[in-house]
Amino acid sequence: MSLQDAIARAISQATGQHFQIDDRRGVDGGCINRAETLQSGNRRYFVKYNDAVRLAMFEAESDGLIEIAASKSVRVPQPVCSGAHGGQAYLVLEYIEINRGTGKADPQGRGSVAGGTTPGMGEVGQRREQLPRMPGATDELLGRQLAAMHRSTRDRFGWHRDNTIGSTRQINTQEEDWVTFYREHRLRFQLDLADENGYGGNLIRRGEQLLEKLPVFFARYQPLPSLLHGDLWGGNHAALPDGTPVIFDPAVYYGDREADIAMTELFGGYGPGFYAAYNEAWPLDPDYRVRRDLYNLYQVLNHLNLFGSGYRRQAEQLVDRLLGEL
């Protein structure tokens, strides 16, 4: 049995409707996954592929989409099924026709559920100018919906399972204390990985100093364990043809909502209406601007570990700036 035949059978079992592939079209799956659309009659699905050892990554993504959908806040693609066959893992998702700020629907559905579209080497500065912005009304609605999603909370930080950020393992061991969670399972994990990857020296030495001082950034601020998208750069949101916002490719966990907002600012792609609407729905703490660098340090370290030394200087600058705040 071919991989596509196995997927067609899995779709049939998951939906209770026979699915026989009439058409296959390759689409952009980003720098982590491969992707295509599969169609049977008027039914179409978006399918991501990776090596079979990555099946847990797809299963965690599916769980994350279900978690966000359960918050009844913002639109996400619905997972259909996942599995592995012939050395390949797959994740089947609802096909969503979207636009990316051009005013025209994307007939390939590229952005709707494209997997692993993490900005690559050297793009941190460039993406801010290149990412299209959604229409103002969509931006504002997304701001309100994200605030509503963040109001979905739990009693501990983390999640019931680990997942991935890009292709890097993201540890979600649950903790009652946010400082402990963020220090051990976010910054220390990435710093240790950077050290293993040969980026030792000043970055690691100064990074360890920052870890020791981390409680200072939370002396007057106690975050709630909010439901987070976890990877909310501008490439992971779009709009339906009617302007309804949609988000995808999550790295879900429960944490400080400021981490999601900080990620939206790292690469751009969000307009002023988004931030105004979010703050109207749930105002950010006055000291958010300081912690923004703290949260984006995690993302930049991950880019260093994924894409190489082009991110080392930016990581060092963030650490130095944060230590300068103390």
Separation of alpha carbons 284 and 162, rounded Å: 28
**What single-letter amino acid sits at 151?**
R
The values of phi and psi at residue 219, to 5°, are -65, -35
Are 157 and 178 a contacting pair, CB within 8 Å? Answer: yes
Which residues does 130 contact at the CB level (< 8 Å), separation at least 6? none
Give the angle 20-22-24 at the CA atoms, nearest 5°.
Answer: 110
Beta-sheet pairing, 88-94 with 79-85: antiparallel
Dihedral sign computed on CA atoms, order 266, 272, 274, 277: positive
Dihedral, CA atoms, 102, 77, 244, 240, nearest 10 degrees? 30
**What single-letter amino acid sits at 25?**
R
Separation of alpha carbons 268 and 117, rounded Å: 15
Classify 198 in phi/psi space as left (phi over 0), alpha (psi -120 to 50) or beta.
left
Helix (H, G, I), strand (E, B) or coil at 313: helix
Helix (H, G, I), strand (E, B) or coil at 18: coil
Which residues does 172 contact at the CB level (< 8 Å), separation at least 6? 158, 159, 160, 161, 162, 163, 185, 253
Q: Give the DSSP H/E element, type plus range, for residue 131.
A: none
Query: Among the options 231, 249, 256, 260, which is catalytic?
Result: 231
- Transcribe 7-41 into DSSP letters: HHHHHHHHHSS-----EEEEE--TTT-EEEEEEET
Active site residue 162: no
What positions carry a catalytic annotation?
231
